[in-house]
Structures are given as structure tokens and as C-alpha cells.
A and B are shown apart, each in its own frame.
Chain A
């Protein structure tokens, strides 16, 4: 029988721990497929962060290290400085990357650390039950903003891709989404570009993916996809923020 579809070799057989309809799962698959298609699975070393993706070290079919909350870019730096010819990536949520780990991500980018960061922005702290993240939208209700996020109290959501793309050391940054097929395909292209930037030794690369958290947003998976498109995307415009690749595929 002809094989029409196969699960990527980039993922193990361990079942995902994600809620039904959560797009963390789609993003995992895209990262895994990108690594497989680029032929780098045997030399990839990933860093799992703290958040719903904390078990990423069980899912990605390559060597992995689990990092303390927010510290994944520093851990990845240590790995990359030991193995400069291996492909090193982190997989981080928005609380991990844009709150507790702000210093680590900014300085990894500023150093032009030749690593790839997968940044999953779901506008809240998923794992701890849905608290405000630095990326939570104005007016968005969370456990710690029960009356909606107010700029007077909590300030404004941070746009990490825009911020980091001002740094010289950055080779590639793109913001993507996975709320429909077209965007899933684009997101995978972006992730491949980020890995390519690393393979070409261009410097720091990051792909921000707007992601859903139906559980904590109190929505059905379909409503959550629509919320990303209608509410998140206007504040977090999709697109390439920095690109120093030799040839964009």
C-alpha cells in the first residue's frame, strides 16, 4: 500500500499533554517537520522551557534539555558555545520569554547568539491557569485581571518581535499564526527560514507564533482560532520583521 501520510520523525510517540484544540500541538509538529525536512534531527539540541510546553523534552525526537522558567536562551547559549555546529533551539511561552526571561532573550538576541527561538504567544499564562502575561491584550480578562487588563494598572502588551528586531545581532524574526491552513503553511516556512538562518550562521532567529488557549480563554477551539484572528492579529501584525537570509525559500 502506498504511504500517503506519515507522522514526522521529528516527534516521539509520547502523546501530547495539551488540551483539545490547543495550537501548541500544531506548532510542535511544524517545528518537528521543519527539522526533519532540513535533515538536522540528528544534530538538533532543543531546550524546553516552563509553561504548558514544559514536557517538550518528551515530544521532540532529538537531544533535549529542560530549562528553568525564562532561562532557556541562556541554557541554549551554553549548549551552542560547546557545540557551535549543532542546531540549537528553544521553545518558549510568552510568560517565559517576555516576563521572567526578558533579560535572557534580549541578551541572547543582542549577542547574535546563533540559536533559533520558537516563541508561542497565547496572551496568557496557560499552565498556571490563565493569568495575565506581558502579551495579554488591553481589556482581556484573566485570573489576575478579572476586570480586564487596564493600561493604567498593568501598562501595555509587549510586542517582542518588533522590539527584538531592532537589535543588530538578529538574523531573522517573523510573526506568524496557525488559525487556518494558509497560515499554518506560512508558519512552517517561517520556522524553516529561522533554522536556515542558524545553519547559515547568520545569528539569532526567532519565530513568534500567535497561539490559542481555549481552556483558559473559556472558548471552544473554533472560537479561540477566531479570537486570534480578530483580536490578537490586529495588535500583533503578522510578517517578517528582520531577514538577513541569503536566499529566502
Chain B
């Protein structure tokens, strides 16, 4: 099949179906409404289930039930909806139920606005629900990459028995770009059989139980260690990032998702003006890529982190560089796009030795 022109939201929905997702539960919210509409239309065509829940609280618990029962299952929402899902996400992580959760972020806090923004980085990568747990968080910056990562997300979820988040923003959800579904990039994985799923006991000797309750503290402690062994494996195997023009760079821009597209343009303009500028684009926000910073920290004068927020990922960059070099920040919240001219100005200041 040739490339097709599609909206980000529709492409991610189609990618999910092509990845074998046959159960989708969701609740309408802008700017991800195209996902629910697309699923409502497509799922019956492929013999799948689309169900509009009465709330995001309910949707994420339907995901828990379906995922626990062995299905490839997905939900999608935007920021306020993700807040409502936090309880369920904690249970999903605790009970080790695989699923894919899409957050097409908008401006906040509160009802905020419906413009694409990046204010949910902390919520996705640092918890949000209660207890010690981690989500694997993937942030595409093109619509093709959205399709690639959705496919990958289902496999990662199944391999690790853990929820995987696709973190996009309203702009990525709404824009149109060509996508090629036949040549999606996929990692080869040996996916384990879901022998733990509640399918009804049949002839099975043992009962299958999906549960996050371990009332005996030493037993719960052990369960937490099991989870963190798994997270350690993910930190070793699931780190993704892109580095552009970093070899000789004195100033490195750091951005993810939509913001990275703007940053790449600014980098090119700066290069044309004679500045040695590179770009680090984290693709997995958790596990956060530390390597590109280790590789570059000795050579650069400083980093400029740009986000469509008041500054969240910047803290991970500070940790990854161990504060060996100045980490500057420029961002705008509320769905306002950071100005390329301001970015250029800051690049020049950092190149000139600003700390």
C-alpha cells in the first residue's frame, strides 16, 4: 500500500487496529475526538469492540478488565481525562496488566484549553497515581512515528506486562501527514503467552487472578521488587532517542514531540548562521535517555531545553547531565508555541558563554 494522508489521531487509531488491538474503551474529549470516532467506525469492520464509557474512570477500569482477560486493549484521552484515569493506571501497573494509553495533551491546569501542550510530562513519567510504579512513555514527533510507536507500544506492553503511554499533543493529533502502514518499524520480540489471563478456568489446573492487593507487608515489598526488576530491564532495553548534528555541537537543543520539530528547524537556521547547534530528541520519556547527554556533556557549552510547558523534562536533563554544564530552559504553556526567534537568541547567548 502506498502512503496515505491522515490525521495523527486517525493514524494512531488505525495503527492500533493493525497492531491487533480489538478492544477500545474511551470517553470523548478534545483534541483526541478523532480517535474515538475512528474506533467507533473501524472496530465493527474488524470484528472488534468499541465502547463509549460513562467516564474516563470507567474507561480505564474497562481496560483493566479487558487487559486482565487477555485482550490487546487501548484507551485514549486528553489531559483532564488522564487525571481521572490515574487511579486505574496505578491498579493496572500494580496488577501487571498490559495496555496502551494514549494522551493527546492540551493546555492546563484545570479545564485549561484545547490547544496542544506538553504539561503532562511529570504526570506520565513520574507517577500521577499512587504508589511506586513506572509507565513506559513514548513520544512521537511525526505521524509516521506515531503509527510506528503505537505498534511498538502494544508489543512492549505485552512483553513487560505493563501499561505503555503514547504521549502526543493536540497539534500532532490534528495535523495531517503521509503515513505508510505497511512498513511500520517494529522490534522483533519474543512475546510471552498470556498464561496469566482470566479466560475462565476451563481445564486449567490453577485459577488465574488479576490483583494488586498484598496485605502482608513483606509480600508486598517483594512484589514491588519484582516490578522494579522489570523496570530495570526496561531501562536497559527500551531507551529511544534521536541525535542530530551533535558531533561538533557546542549548543544542544533538547525537545520531544511536536516541540522537537520546531527545534529542528531552529537548529537548521542556527547552523546556516554559523552556530554549531545539535538536537537531542528523547523518544522514550521513561526510560529517559541518559546516554546522549553522557556522550555530549564534555564537549558542549550548554543545553537548551524547549518545552510547550513551564519546564518539566528539563529536570530530567539536569539529572542526566549531572549539572556538569549549564542547562537552560525556554518554554511556553497553554498551547502557545515557543518562539523560534527567542530560541535563536538563547542559542547565541549560550554559545557566547552565558551560564
Contact = CB atoms under 8 A, between A and B. Distances in A.
A103 B54 CA distance: 8
Interface in B60-78: 61-71, 73
Nearest to B97: A65
A82 B54 CA distance: 19
Which of B68, B71, B87, B208 lies at the interface centre, i.e. has the most chain A CB atoms within 10 A of its CB?
B68
Contacts of A104: 54, 57-58, 61
B200 A81 contact: no
A191 interface: no
Interface in A72-109: 74-83, 86-87, 103-104, 106-107
B128 to A, nearest CB: 15
Interface string A54-81: 1101100111111110010011111111
Contacts of A194: none
Interface residues of B, number: 39
The binding surface of chain A is classed by DSSP as: helix
B83 to A, nearest CB: 15
B199 interface: yes
Contacts of A106: 54
B69 A45 contact: yes
A77 B51 contact: yes
B290 to A, nearest CB: 34
A71 B57 contact: yes
Interface string B247-265: 0000000000000000000
B213 interface: yes
A117 interface: no
A11 to B, nearest CB: 12
Contact of A47 (B49, B65, B200): B65
A107 B58 contact: yes
Given A68-B87, A74-B53, A81-B66, A103 B58 contact: yes
Given A81-B49, A103-B57, A103-B58, A63 B66 contact: no
Nearest to A104: B58
Given A65-B64, A68-B88, A78 B95 contact: no
A44 interface: yes
A142 B203 CA distance: 46
A67 B200 contact: no
Nearest to A60: B207
Interface string B164-199: 000000000000000000000000000000000011
A44 B208 CA distance: 11
9 contacts: A45-B200, A64-B210, A65-B68, A66-B212, A81-B65, A82-B73, A86-B199, A103-B58, A107-B53
Given A43-B201, A78-B62, 15 more contacts: A12-B207, A45-B200, A54-B213, A58-B209, A62-B201, A63-B200, A64-B207, A65-B65, A66-B210, A71-B57, A74-B59, A75-B68, A81-B49, A104-B58, A107-B53
Interface of B: 23, 25, 49, 51, 53-55, 57-59, 61-71, 73, 87-88, 91, 95, 198-203, 207-213
